[in-house]
Structure 1
Amino acid sequence: MSNDLRHRRSLRSVLAVGAASAALLCAAAGPAAAAQSPGQKIADALRTSPVYVDPSLSAAVDAADQRALVQQIQQSHLPIRVVLVPLVEGDNWAGKPEQLTEVVHDRMGGGPAILITPGGFTDDIEARAWPTHSHQAENAAASVYFDDSMKGAGLAKRISRAIDVIKAGNGDQVYQRLTAHLGTPSSRPSGSGTPKSPTGQATSPVVRIVALAAGPVLVVAAGWLLLRRRSRLRDFGTPFALPRSVFAAAHKADEDGLRERAGEEVVRLGEESRAATGDPAAVERALDAYAAAGTVLDRARGVPDLAGVFALVAEGRAALSPAPAALPLCFFHPLHGPAARRIPWRPLGRREQLRVAACDTCLRAVRARRAPEVLTDRLDGHVVPYFEVPAEQSLWAATGYGSLLAGDSLTVRVQRGDFTRTLP
């Protein structure tokens, strides 16, 4: 009996030690497992399969759909990955497809890749490629939204269609074909007196791209700005809906109110810059932006210049922020605030594209095929979209309030005199 008792005690001791060891191992592994970010979880899953579907979307893209997409991707021999997660305001990606793709691509270790995700709107999908625009992936995915044969198709079929176009490598051509007939150029009202730019004379980059051989015309849409099909086009005095915002109105009281608000923001930026204790170079950039904003504010001639003050203040605040570089203000209407993402902008009748920053409001308008509000200016007595003003007359037309700059800043442009040279 004594030997049996000792045996049972020994067995209990072994089990106790084993349980304690297991508990310690679980405790040690717990924080590491809990620390795995959503982006890392998706990246790890993509190393096993090129298609990741969040459980909440498994009804829309079931196991059979996933297998078919995997096979299609493998046959394409391209670094395509599909990431299907619900995107809502306040989630890990702030509801933004580009933030999701940026994080996942980084967690995957970078390198060549094409990530397909849900878009920011119903029935929309997006693609992001590294290197940028490789295999014309962005337009390949964008074209699906405008493909009548895809109307009512499920998410899996729309993604499959995008993969087909990406594999073919003709996304730009397909996008152009599907959108070319959705709007037509609208001539400027007669008697506008808008002069043609002499050969060699500098004009806004946007104007140079959208100029048509038939003569001076305005563009009905910018980028994906597409008017509703099978409906009569409204006869706008300009090809964009005139801003209803008080900031873009031509009334003096509204302009005075905007000027006062701009002054408050400049003062606040100066206070924040002088109180900042971070990277000296970043603080210096913020102070430079503060000085540039003050220069523009002091000599602002109207709403477009005051909008430039806000754009410069945004540059200064971005310099002080520890967050990744922010997008500039909305290209179409900078007083809408910071842009949500960049979109390809192909003026009608042209093959060339720009990538401009657009706010959520303008994105919704563009995707709904409605004209977004644009900031207007005056040219030869006529109200026109601000970017129709020749570049030598407007810093804002030349830069798109930051959207058209590459490796430069509005602050630098003001410092070197680009703004003051446009003054009478």
Structure 2
Amino acid sequence: MKAVPRTRSLPALLLAALALALTTLFAPAASADTSVSTIAQALRKSPVYVDPAARDQLSAADADTLATRIKDADKPLFIAVLPAGYPTGNLFADLRSATGVTGLYGIRLGDRFDARADSSVMSATARQNLVGSVQGEDAKAQLTDFTDRALANMGGHAPRSWGGSAAGGGSTTALITTAAVLVAAGGGAYALVRRNRRRREDEQRAALDRLRVVVDEDITAFGEELDRLDFHPSEAGADDTMRADYERALDAYETAKQRMAAARRPEDVRSVTEAVEDGRFSLAQLAARREGRPLPERRPPCFFDPRHGPSVTDATWTPPGGAPREVPVCAADATRLADGRDPVIREVDTDYGRRPYWDAGPAYGPWAGGYFGGGLLPGLLVGTLLGSVMATPSYAADYGTGYGDFGGGDFGAGGYEGGDVSGTDFDPGDFGGGFGDGGGFDGGGGGGDFGGDF
């Protein structure tokens, strides 16, 4: 009799099918649910996307908190949290193309992190420095720090498609948007404009309060210079030109105090520091006349701290991670640089401690503009956080214009402001290189010395 082949029992077949189903269900590999198109679609609705396979990296509550913070700041910042095995080839360029929105894109991929940005939102140097500053942190701390620092230094506005303030609220956003359209004639549009205006006023007021501390220090220092000079119009040897110098200095001192008291927006501060600088130059002229020295040349103040007084020469200086540039310096700082020592730099308070004023945020643009106006300021600030922010098209709307030409060359901002829908019309160089190349690592868009490859 011919042998009959043995077949597997029904229970064994069922177990095998169940194991295959479980393996497929929990496989970490990317699927249609984690395609770039899916991520882009989610980011058009909310600024934070967490892949289902990466939920252990960032909880839903933490993602909602980040999303709310970004929306409240009205900035085009996009955050994606993806599993470690997600494909990285052309990830940023593909995501930017699929999303179609000008902005800053940060991606946490396993325990790695990198970011790319349109140049109209943040310069390559600022973005590299920002990425490098958060390397090595755990997911929540890293994304929180990156978000806070990015929002303080980036340009642009949030895309209109975000709508509400909770991550993943697509259906709710649609209902709110529909309702807003229906009641717009009844005042909905007016309320929205009023809310945005109030938020902008609150932001400007906070920036002005921070500036007021620095400007008051400048005015106080100028007043102390007046006292130290100890000039009396009736003293022996005083002539009309000396008295005129002294009167101009006194007038500048009073003008600076009055303008600061009347300031209502950050951009108003520029006229204050202009007055202080005019007064300091008058004092320099008076001192030269009293001592019988040649009258000083009208030069900008010392770049490192305008309280040092008018500069006496230009010196080559290279900021950390930046390119060399010629800056106006006082005699003391010129000597320090010539001896290989660090200059005495003006530091101000920030949310992250004391920082040089050029790395302290956009509010210091009007302050610096009063001291270094015209075409001088862009060359001095190139590669710094302040210079990068002032290069964005949105800066003038918040802090005023007239600080020199930030429009071309290294400060070119591109055609679209952050938050605008440009589709695939963007500079591929802003998003080039593989994942990990943009934070000062090897590859396209690198630079700096943050170390470590991905």
> TM-score when scaled to structure 2?
0.28
Work out which structure has the larger RCO, using CA pairs closer than 8 Å and 6 or more positions apart in sequence: 2
> TM-score when scaled to structure 1?
0.30
Structure of greater Rg: 2
